[in-house]
A and B are shown apart, each in its own frame.
Chain A
Amino acid sequence: MKLALSGKFVSTAACVMMALSVPAMGIAGDTIKFGVAGPHSGDLASYGLPSVNAAKIVAKQVNDAGGINGKMIELLIEDDVCKPEIATNTATKLASEGAEVVLGHICSGATKAALPIYKDKGILVMSPSATNPALTQSGDYPNFFRTIAPDDAQAEVDVNFVLEKLGYTKIAVVHDKGDYGKGFAEFAKKFLEESGKAEVVLFEGVTPGAVDYSAIVLKIRKSGAEAVIFGGYHPEASKIVGQMKKKRLKTTFISDDGVKDMTFIKVAGKNAEGAYASGPQDNASNPLSKVAIEAHKATFNSDHGAFYENAYSAMLAMVNAIKMAGSTDLAALKKVLQTEKVETPVGNIFFNEMGDAVGVGFSVYQVQDGKFVEMK
């Protein structure tokens, strides 16, 4: 019994040291603190780091232009490795450091774990990538907004496209067993079955990161599916289209906006040709989208990654809301977000009662000559 306590002594000493070494927080009142939370290390870092870049770019632009109503943006960037238990630490850290609004989290699971903490503190949270429908539709999290369409909306777009434009009747639904991919796939399956026009001939999950997907590709072929709807992210998608090509499969590949990412085309190369993916409407012709992409190129000397534009848009929406509301009070911010439209790379958007962005039109794109081309 006594032994435990000496351990605590060490840690307490460590805490005291930490507390001393961290510069006094919350003294400067002339900044607005934006929390940025997401996976910045570990296996899912590639989904979290682009949002950090977006936050940095927008913050710099705003600060260079004189800040929000004269106040500078200060970024508090915290890693949550996409794990719920770490996300609660991240959230309490951001809350106790005085973050006034939060860009994040990236994964739906981490977001769900973190939201009650922000809710308690009245902090506005806007995610560029958490697509789980329950986040907005359950009504549990009045402080949550997002600039990405929920799984069910996307699945509907994809399913309608497959049924009406392509007219297929035998469809395989494959997912990556993750919360995003499986959620999307389950909705796709539901909509397909409800429509009564098509048959789901296969519904299975693949293991992300596996060295080889040929067995599932063979199974798709055996099922006789005319199209595969895939729920998941681009690494798995490019592996699957690659192996489909290798096995000489002609099945059409349709996926979600975790795949509608330039990295998919880059990695899959020629194999991506002809694949479909849903994503926010016409952002290629949107001037702001070009600005956002170019800013990334100029600042970081590299192409942006996943959810960059969504994060950029979320930053713009939050900056605009704070500017219009004149404070970071949750109720005031909500009012602005729900009434005032804002120009962003994903479209001219505002938010509905539940927190989903309205105006992020969704359409289906096809990869043609190394580019996503919108299917009208």
Chain B
Amino acid sequence: MLLIKELKKALGVALWFVFLTFPIMVIKVDPIERIIRYRWENAAYVAIVTFTVYLVMSFIKLRKLRVTADKKESKPSRNVIHSILNNKKQLAVLSFMILAIALVFPHFFSVYQTNVMTTALMYVVLGLGLNIVVGMAGLLDLGFVAFYAVGAYSYALLNYHFGLGFWVVLPIGGALAAIFGIILGFPVLRLRGDYLAIVTLGFGEIIRLILENWGEFSQGPSGISNISRPGFFGMDFSLETSIMYMYYIMVIGVIVTIFIVNRLQDSRLGRAWIALREDEIACQAMGIDKRKTKLAAFSLGAFWAGLIGVVFAAKTTFINPASFTFLESAIILSIVVLGGMGSIIGVIIGAFILILMPEYLRALSEYRMLAFGGVMVAMMVFRPQGMIANIRRTYKFEKQK
């Protein structure tokens, strides 16, 4: 009985999708030659695909229901990764293994794989930086890419005009971005929630537009080329070694970032951020300076973006404003949310998924971005809390017996 009911429903869904996709999937017109082509086969594909997908989904749902009915799971949110995290010994073994793999990785894989992995590591740091602002302090920032651009352009311009090297500019880029974070932070202190989001979006766009239009300063849309790769005591590298070098810089960068962010989370400031996120008024009542705390979040988040901006310019050796669009901010934000807001390990996994996926989906050629969008929706629908949800620290008061 249930089966027939489900089949009927699946049929309904399939028909609905055939109707929905009819004009765009089936009809193709050429307004100049005045030709209409009906691609009925597409309607059939849509029907078959949606029918199967629906059946599979309902099957999974059914099984899940049965499983939960059979044994009531006590805490579904605590999964394998959480249990490993809580076990110091397992954690040590696992991290050692991963570190070992990370260190030998470029020797076993091609230059391309190393290069892609470097990009992924860069996004790990970006994600962790944004996580300070969004995940910890709860300030939705849609213009994070602006700080990234500040870092990238400060290296590109300082290198172009004054020939300054990577290691010199790295702290400068970070500091400049942090200053920009404070500049943005001041006017928006009063704003809340989505109003803040749109102002940061606007700020990101303003920075990009200035870079695009103020040609005397930034060389406009044609960008800055021949930016030096990072040096190592004046040694000259071939392409392969410099890609590998870049990779190791990022491995160290990620480790340092995780260390600092982890410490930050447990610090006074980190706790203030979390308090701010949960309840602004209560937080102020506890004597936390809202202004300082928010500005600290903005500038610290921006600092990481600035650092990675410098790395980005050095890695690509060419930058132009097209790399700093809103979509980039959206991707970084997706990393944070998809991974699990506020959770460091979640952000790391999120970065790997979102950055490596489009690269490895290259096999799908033109269906690549379609799949990317689809997977993003599916992951959110199936894991709304993110891949690794942050577990709230709780303190249980138990009466002594």
Contacts and interface: CB of A to CB of B under 8 A. Distances in A.
Direct A–B contact in the complex, CB atoms closer than 8 angstroms = yes
A113 B348 CA distance: 27
27 contacts: A1-B95, A1-B258, A5-B95, A6-B345, A6-B348, A8-B101, A11-B352, A12-B102, A14-B360, A19-B113, A79-B368, A84-B316, A84-B320, A84-B322, A88-B115, A92-B112, A92-B243, A93-B362, A96-B110, A109-B221, A109-B322, A120-B238, A177-B221, A179-B222, A179-B320, A182-B221, A186-B215
B223 interface: yes
B225 interface: yes
Interface stretch (B51-59, B117-125, B135-143): B117-125
A116 B317 contact: yes
A3 interface: yes
B360 A112 contact: no
Given A8-B348, A8-B352, A15-B105, 16 more contacts: A1-B259, A4-B254, A4-B348, A7-B345, A11-B117, A11-B352, A11-B356, A12-B105, A41-B366, A41-B369, A113-B225, A117-B239, A134-B222, A177-B213, A179-B320, A182-B221
Considering residues A3, A5, A14, A107, which has the most beta carbons from chain B within 10 angstroms of its beta carbon? A3
Nearest to B220: A182
B88 to A, nearest CB: 9
Contacts of A9: 94, 97-98, 101
Given A8-B101, A89-B116, A2 B223 contact: no
A3 B239 contact: no
Interface string B338-365: 0000001100110110001001101101
Interface string B196-238: 0000000000000000110100001111011000000000001
Given A1-B259, A89-B116, A120-B238, A14 B356 contact: yes
A323 B226 CA distance: 33
Contacts of A183: 221-222
Interface string A11-32: 1101100110010000000000
Interface in A279-338: 302
A179 B359 CA distance: 26
B85 A96 contact: no
B110 A3 contact: no
Interface residues of A, number: 55
Contact of A3 (B109, B222, B345, B362): B345
A83 B221 contact: no
Interface of B: 30-32, 81, 84-85, 91-92, 94-99, 101-102, 105, 109-113, 115-117, 119-120, 124, 212-213, 215, 220-223, 225-226, 238-239, 243, 254-255, 258-259, 262, 312, 315-320, 322-323, 344-345, 348-349, 351-352, 356, 359-360, 362-363, 365-366, 368-369
Contacts of A121: 239
Interface in A91-119: 92-93, 95-97, 107-109, 112-113, 116-117
Interface of A: 1-12, 14-15, 18-19, 22, 40-42, 77-79, 82-85, 88-89, 92-93, 95-97, 107-109, 112-113, 116-117, 120-121, 132, 134, 140, 177-179, 182-183, 186, 205, 266, 302
Nearest to B255: A1
B256 to A, nearest CB: 8
A178 B213 CA distance: 10
Give the dominant DSSP class at B's interface: helix
Contacts of B85: 3
Contacts of B96: 5
B225 A85 contact: no
B348 A112 contact: no
A140 B362 CA distance: 30
Contacts of B81: 6
Nearest to B258: A4
Contact of A177 (B117, B212, B315): B212
Give the dominant DSSP class at A's interface: helix
Contact of A92 (B115, B226, B319): B115
Given A4-B255, A6-B345, A108 B94 contact: no
B124 A179 contact: no
B222 A89 contact: no
Contact of A132 (B212, B222, B243, B323): B222
A112 B225 contact: yes
Contacts of A120: 238-239
A304 to B, nearest CB: 14
Pairs A-B, 8 closest by C-beta atoms: A5-B98, A2-B95, A7-B348, A120-B239, A113-B318, A96-B110, A3-B345, A96-B112
Contacts of A88: 115, 315-317
Contacts of B352: 7-8, 10-11, 14
Nearest to B212: A177
Contacts of B323: 83-85
A157 to B, nearest CB: 20
A126 B17 CA distance: 44
Given A84-B316, A85-B316, A6 B222 contact: no
Contacts of B312: 85
Contacts of A42: 369
Contact of B348 (A3, A14, A41): A3
B39 to A, nearest CB: 11
A6 B98 contact: yes
Contacts of A96: 110-112
Contacts of A132: 222
A77 B124 CA distance: 28
Considering residues A1, A182, A186, which has the most beta carbons from chain B within 10 angstroms of its beta carbon? A1
A179 to B, nearest CB: 4
A205 B209 CA distance: 11
A176 B233 CA distance: 43
Given A15-B113, A113-B317, A1 B366 contact: no
Contacts of A40: 365-366
A7 B238 contact: no
A109 B223 contact: yes
B316 A113 contact: yes
Contacts of A5: 94-99, 102
A85 to B, nearest CB: 5
B360 A3 contact: no
A178 to B, nearest CB: 5
A11 B222 contact: no
B103 to A, nearest CB: 10
